[in-house]
Structure 1
Amino acid sequence: MAAAIDQLGTPFSWGGGTPSGPTTGVGRGAHTKGFDCSGLTLYAWSKAGIRLGHYTGTQFRQGRRVTLGELRKGDLVFFGGGTGDPTHVGLNLGGGVMIHAPKTGDVVRRTPFLTSTYYRPLYRGAVRPG
C-alpha cells in the first residue's frame, strides 16, 4: 500500500506503469508518464514480491477471490465489464476506500468505492494476490 500511496498525484497514462514505477504509456498515454489502473496495482504488489500482469482481466484471475467481508488492506478491488473481464482495478486501503488511477486527464487518487454512486454498482469482486 505504501508504494501506491507514494504515487498519489501521479498522472494517469493509458498503458503506463511497470514494477519499476511510472512510464510513458501507449495510445492516449503516449505523451504522459504515469500509471493506468492495472499498472499502478502491478507496481504496488511488485514491492511485496508479487508479479501481476498488466491487464485488469489478468489480475482478476491472479490470486484468491475474497468477499467484501474478507477484504484486507492491499486487496485488489475490481469494477465494470458486465459479464466480461472487469474494466477497472484499485487497491483497497480499508474503510471502503481504494487508491487507483481513474482515467485519462486524472491522477492517482483515493476514492471511496463502497459508498460511491458510481463505483459501488459496478463492483465485481476482490482478489488477494499471492
Structure 2
Amino acid sequence: MSETDWTLWMKKRRVRVLCALGAVLLCCLQGGATVTDEVPVFTEEPLSVVQKLGGSVTLRCSARPPSANISWRLNGRDLVAGAGGDLGVVLEPGMLLIPALTNLTLGRYQCVASTNAGGLASVPANVTAA
C-alpha cells in the first residue's frame, strides 16, 4: 500500500468516525437521551435483619437517577403495591415496612431499581426470626 493509498484510507475512516460521533451528539442535543435513559445505580441497598416474630422491620433502598422506579421482591417473587397488603407489608418510596413480622414475611428481600435503560436488583437482604 502506497503512502497516498494509506492517507486516503485514513481520511475515509476518520470521516466515518466523525459521522458516527456527530449522530450521537445530534441525538443528545435533540433530547433523545434523557435522565430516565440512565441505567440505575443503588445509593442505598437493604440490609439483612434479625427480629422477633411480631416485631417491626424496615428495609430501605434508593437509587440514582431519582426518577428510577423502585419495586421489591420476596423470595424471588414481585411484591405488588396493593398485593403487599396480603402479607401486611407496606411499600413506600424507598422503603418496605413490615409492621409485625410473621412466618409469611420471613425470607429473602430484594430491591429492584428500573429505568427505560434497564433494571438492577440489589444484594438480597435476609429477614430472619430471632
Q: Quick check: TM above 0.5?
A: no
Taking CA–CA contacts closer than 8 Å with sequence separation of 6 or more, which of the two structures ends up with the larger relative contact order? 2
Q: Highest CA radius of gyration, 1 or 2?
A: 2
- TM-score range for the pair, normalised by the shorter chain length: under 0.3
More strand by share: 2
TM-score (norm 1): 0.21
TM-score, normalised relative to structure 2 = 0.21
